[in-house]
Amino acid sequence: MADSAITLTHFILSDQQAHPSASGDFSILLHSVEIASKYISSKVRCAGMLNLYGIHGSVNESGDKVQKLDVIANDAFITSLKRSRKTCCLASEEDPEPIIFEDSTGHYAVAFDPLDGSSNIDVNISIGSIFAIYRKKDLSKKASIEDILQPGSQLVAAGYTLYGSATQLVYTTGNGVHGFTLDPSTGEFVLTHPNMRVKPKHPIYSINEGNALYWDQPTTEYIQSIKFPKTGKPYSLRYVGSMVADVHRTLIYGGIFMYPGDKNAKDGKLRLLYEANPMAMIMEQAGGKASTGTQRILDIIPRDVHQRVPVFVGSSQCIDEVEAFYRSFSN
């Protein structure tokens, strides 16, 4: 690692020093996410040798079959966040109810998907972790589920860790988006993508075309318009099936990632608190947009921990075009 390299730890501490009144609690919390990400990365890298492929044997709250690595990743996040002693409430995709520490002095509530795209584990395709950090609503009261049921506009930080050809952690605290790559020789995340920005428009779309039969009319017509444009070249389709991988590519190259509602699931598949909200915050901080087609994702007031919402995230002009289709059909 070069002497000039900026590690994630240095970056977090530098950000803390820019706020003289900071207690350091937030920095400790971010460091706990870093620890969990490193641990999960190490298990993903040797999953085959440790017999960690395959199904665990249970089904999570979202109805997905739980993989062995799902359990390991969930335990890693819960353990690391609890040990930080800075949280009052944790909500995971893998658990039916949030974990509430009523007597905790922690000021933060954290929602997370410990291992997104886990159905891709056995075929060695990129997977990831997603996290969203909210500030406790009222420090004078005991922690409750209300501390996690907050709109995305109240997020103080959001990010994801991608376990692919390299392990990368991308996050925002509301002042831009920064990406760090894990250096295996030192075990440190190093700043490799400062001030990430998404292009205003790019001809790449990402969606599960296998659901085309069930799409609503605005989605169908929008996809038709970019596949068979009246002028210019058609968009290229790129779809991994892991939200972290697909959104990361969209952030780097531009374009649009979509998981709309359809006739079988009017609210889509993706969860608001720990998938849509954090990715929406990241994309907006990078200059993009995030919408349900009819509403800004970060403005949605959640009803429950595992609430689902339609998701369109990416380049601002692409999202504007999708919303225009939804407006035209609503009239």
Residue-wise pLDDT for 157-174, tens only, equals: 999 999 999 999 999 999
3 state SS of 179: strand
Beta-carbon contacts of 37 under 8 Å, excluding residues fewer than 6 positions away, are 129, 161, 167, 169, 189
Count of beta carbons in the 10 Å neighbourhood of residue 257: 27
The beta strand positions in the chain, using DSSP E, are 55-59, 65-67, 87-92, 99-100, 108-116, 127-135, 155-163, 167-172, 177-183, 188-193, 204-206, 236-237, 256-259, 289-291, 311-314
Q: Could you confirm whether 70 is annotated as catalytic?
A: yes
Q: Could you confirm whether 320 is annotated as catalytic?
A: no
For residue 24, give the nearest of 35, 16, 33 by alpha carbon: 16
Residues facing 193 on adjacent strands = 179
- Of 34, 147, 188, 275, catalytic: 275
pLDDT of residue 15: 87
Between CA 39 and CA 72 the distance in angstroms is 9
Between CA 282 and CA 296 the distance in angstroms is 14
Q: Could you confirm whether 115 is annotated as catalytic?
A: yes
- Of 15, 64, 75, 216, catalytic: 64
- Of 116, 147, 188, 284, catalytic: 116
pLDDT of residue 69: 86
Residue 234 DSSP symbol: P
Residue 5 DSSP symbol: P
- Of 30, 115, 169, 273, catalytic: 115
Q: Could you confirm whether 29 is annotated as catalytic?
A: no
Residues facing 268 on adjacent strands = none
pTM higher than 0.85, yes or no? yes
pLDDT of residue 37: 98
Phi/psi of residue 52, nearest 5 degrees: -100, 5
pLDDT of residue 304: 95
The tens digit of pLDDT for each residue in 41-97 reads: 999 887 554 455 555 445 555 556 677 888 999 999 999 999 999 999 999 999 999
One DSSP character per residue, 39-98 reads HHHHHHHTTTTTT--SEEEEE-TTSPEEEHHHHHHHHHHHHHHHHHT-EEEEEETTSSS-
- Of 8, 29, 69, 93, catalytic: 93
Q: Could you confirm whether 116 is annotated as catalytic?
A: yes
Phi/psi of residue 124, nearest 5 degrees: 60, 40
- Of 34, 70, 246, 284, catalytic: 70
Q: Could you confirm whether 209 is annotated as catalytic?
A: no
For residue 154, give the nearest of 195, 117, 109 by alpha carbon: 109
Q: Which residues of the chain have pLDDT under 50?
A: 49-50, 56-57
Q: Could you confirm whether 246 is annotated as catalytic?
A: no
- Of 8, 30, 34, 113, catalytic: 113
Mean pLDDT over all residues of the chain?
92
Q: Could you confirm whether 321 is annotated as catalytic?
A: no
- Of 30, 52, 94, 273, catalytic: 94
Beta-carbon contacts of 204 under 8 Å, excluding residues fewer than 6 positions away, are 235, 236, 237, 238, 249, 250, 253, 254, 255, 256
